[in-house]
Structure 1
Amino acid sequence: MTRVLLADDHAAIRAGLRLLLEQGGVEVVGEAADGHAAITNARALRPDVVLMDVRMPGVDGIEATRVITGEGLADVLALTTFDLDEYVLGMLRAGAVGFLLKTTSAAALVDAVERVAAGDGVLAPEVTRRLLADLVAAAPPAADPSGAGPVVAADGTASAAASGVDLVDTLTPRERDVLACLGAGMSNADLAAALVITEATAKTHVSRVLAKLGCASRVQAAIVAVEAGVVRG
């Protein structure tokens, strides 16, 4: 059973999410009313997935996501009321593997949580392509004028994509193919079909690409693919 930690500053929303998830066969192992509590509980409970709100008092969802994914505590799925570019891009660059709006259906929410726990992202390919194209064009990672690396964005996140682009040349031809598939928003199953390999092999390749690029999630790698111009022909 997939184990989930809920992070949202509204108790009523947490209660509703708990009910929906538990009815769908997902175990809710804990709750957090702010980012600090989310980090603390993630360290203690080691859930499979943290369902993370973006706007919370004190430590917000972006900072909490950066810590949780940076420490390898859990995968993070953003769940927010606000479909705003700065929030979406901030969460993805902080390491979230995808995002959903709070208007999503119960079935879609449970499916997304299960997919994240299985190692996939949760953005539909067409949505991924639109977001990556629009968001990267609207808010490209800033270069450090000293040449020392990526700078920290206004929301407190550092762009993994900025440094990841510099590492694309370290990938093998097959790994570049995998990165291109990630840039197209493909799931592991779609990637396996496109490259005529098994899904297990696809997962292995994805893990190696993430490690080489220093990306915390496949969505960060997709941003790297777009920014580096690595696309499927």
Structure 2
Amino acid sequence: MIHILVVDDNSFITGGLEIILGTMDGIEVVGTAADGAEAVAFCQEHEVDVVLMDVRMPGMDGVQATKVITETTQTKVIILTTFDDDAFILKAIENGAKGYLLKNNDPQMIHHAIVSVMQNQSIIQDEIWDKVKRSLQDEVMPAAPDLSGLHLTAREMDVMKAIASGLSNKEIAKNLFISEGTVANNISALLGKLGLDHRTQLAILYLTGKIGGVEG
């Protein structure tokens, strides 16, 4: 059974999600919270597998709460919001969010995201990732960041560059003349070596030269 906490300052939203999620096999909503501080306290006191977290809330917002929850518990956070603001997206990802979805997704997409993050996968829907990529590419300076301090292999750098360009594993494999399995292995190795959680963080690191405590 996957234990879920729903966090939103709109009781209509939390109530609706509680009903919808309650109909899904293998999922149990163990609580709701109206702000980030409540969410942090609940996760630290109860067994919660996944938090569905809104972004803009009074007091501690969802981005701040995500950082505390991921640093102090084993709980995984999926941002579920109506806001696709660049700053929120980037900060939530940097703070350890495993997923970023808009609330207009159908229930099955939310269910898929929950199951995926429990399998240590990240879920960021395509339109959000495209927005992140455009934002980073607009901000990046003409001279690419120096990542030599990360001590990556040439192949790992090629894979990071391809990820930052928005290519899928299949497209990366085709461009680099390697198998999709090799691409996946390289990505796993990169994440482990750099202490990151998912490919979006790799893209941010490649384009900006830093993410969280990692710098090139």
Q: Normalising to structure 2: TM-score of the pair? A: 0.75
Counterpart in 2 of 1:23?
Answer: 23
CA contact (8 A) 1:95 1:217 kept: no
Counterpart in 1 of 2:46?
Answer: 45
CA contact (8 A) 2:43 2:73 kept: no
Give, in angstroms, the shift of residue 65 of structure 1. 0.8
Counterpart in 2 of 1:61?
Answer: 62
Counterpart in 2 of 1:9?
Answer: 9
Give, in angstroms, the shift of residue 31 of structure 1. 1.7
CA contact (8 A) 1:97 1:219 kept: no
Classify 1:209/1:104 alpha carbon distance in 2 versus 1 (closer, same or farther; 3 Å): same
Classify 1:47/1:185 alpha carbon distance in 2 versus 1 (closer, same or farther; 3 Å): farther
Cα deviations by residue, 1:88-120 (Å, 9 ceiling, x for unpaired): 222122221231111111111111221122122
CA distance in 2, matches of 1:206, 1:52: 27
Question: Which runs of no fewer than 5 residues in structure 2 stay unpaired?
Answer: 210-216
Q: Please give the secondary structure, in 2, of the residue aligned with 1:77.
A: strand
Cα deviations by residue, 1:156-188 (Å, 9 ceiling, x for unpaired): xxxxxx9xx74773234454455456543647x
User: Aligned ranges for residues 32-181 of structure 1 at < 5 Å?
Assistant: 32-125=33-126, 127-128=128-129, 130-138=130-138, 166=147, 169-173=150-154, 175-176=156-157, 179-180=160-161
CA contact (8 A) 1:136 1:227 kept: yes
Q: Normalising to structure 1: TM-score of the pair? A: 0.70
Give, in angstroms, the shift of residue 54 of structure 1. 0.3
CA distance in 2, matches of 1:61, 1:218: 21
For the aligned residue pairs, the C-alpha RMSD in angstroms reads: 3.3
CA distance in 1, matches of 2:118, 2:105: 18
CA distance in 1, matches of 2:138, 2:60: 25
CA contact (8 A) 2:162 2:172 kept: yes
Q: Give the number of equivalent residue pairs.
A: 201
Cα deviations by residue, 1:126-162 (Å, 9 ceiling, x for unpaired): 652x223222145569xxxxxxxxxxxxxxxxxxxx9
Question: Which runs of no fewer than 5 residues in structure 1 stay unpaired?
Answer: 142-161, 229-233
Correspondence for 1:225 among 190, 202, 206: 206
CA distance in 2, matches of 1:112, 1:210: 20
Q: Please give the secondary structure, in 2, of the residue aligned with 1:83.
A: coil
CA contact (8 A) 1:81 1:101 kept: yes
Cα deviations by residue, 1:18-73 (Å, 9 ceiling, x for unpaired): 11122122222222211111111122224222111001111111111111222352
Q: Please give the secondary structure, in 1, of the residue aligned with 2:98.
A: coil
Counterpart in 1 of 2:181?
Answer: 197
Report which of the two has the higher share of strand.
2
